[in-house]
Structure 1
Amino acid sequence: MTVSSAGVVARLVELGQTVGCAESLTGGLVVARLVDTPGASAVVRGGVVAYATPLKAILLGVDADLLASRGAVDRDVAGQMAVGAQRALEADWGVATTGVAGPEPQDGMPVGCVFVAVAEPGGSVVVERHDLTGGRPEIRAAAVDAALELLARRLEPAL
């Protein structure tokens, strides 16, 4: 199921809050989906595409030792990326994606293993693992959906 970016943007506008994205395998597709929505400029702060592993530490503040020991495709890395997006982009909410789109496994993780994370205004961080199927384009598209679905679910309790 594809989440409506318009619904996410409308909810953020309603709350008077902003979002920033930190993306790896999705390469900017999450923020692109959000800014496809008219009025997104009121709530979308921007995105950081940290595709290369060292950039996750340099730009987003992900722990370099964590990256060295576990690699970029990791639950804790995703969480730190989301927090890094909040900080770097001065946003209320941070969204992050990291994973393996293929064609080869990476960091000991299989193709289709994706972590999405949301850092919330109060300091909580929620991370989900998804084991996606399909080719590279399908995995990347499903990762975008998963990230926006998680954000949409986390925005709801704020009602």
Structure 2
Amino acid sequence: MTDQERRTGRDETEEERADRMWGELIQEVRVAQTGVQILFGFLLTVVFQQKYAELSDTDKTIYVITVILGASATGALIGPVSLHRLVAGRKVKPQAVRVASRLTSVGLFLLLVTMTAALVLILRVATDGGPVTWVVVAVVVWYLMCWYGLPLWSRHRHTTR
């Protein structure tokens, strides 16, 4: 058994590993893309609602920031598809997988921030203040546990040494 096989637990070449990882990454991106596209689409309609004119300047600023974050998350999460299309057949799949993985990580972080900003805006408008901060903090902690805490704990606990 080679050092590479011991590290990956699989008997695959670098190209085979890149093919497998690309397939897994694209499946992950499909889930995140759907969520970010629905959220971004919703955000784009808000400005055309009658209630928008009644928002405070602060809420309008939060909205604009949320739209910019949503657009950025959408770009980062669609980026791997464009990357693959532009480098397909150029024998750079292992490198493309690494770049696409980074784009996906950035996109997920931007999605987290977009969802947080959208939650702040919605709760500010729906509740006229109140416990918005505490509710948003609780939801963000939940996101962090689900998206980062549990996966990192699992990776640490179950990674073979």
Tell me the TM-score normalised to structure 2 length.
0.27
Tell me the TM-score normalised to structure 1 length.
0.28
Bigger helix fraction: 2
Bigger strand fraction: 1
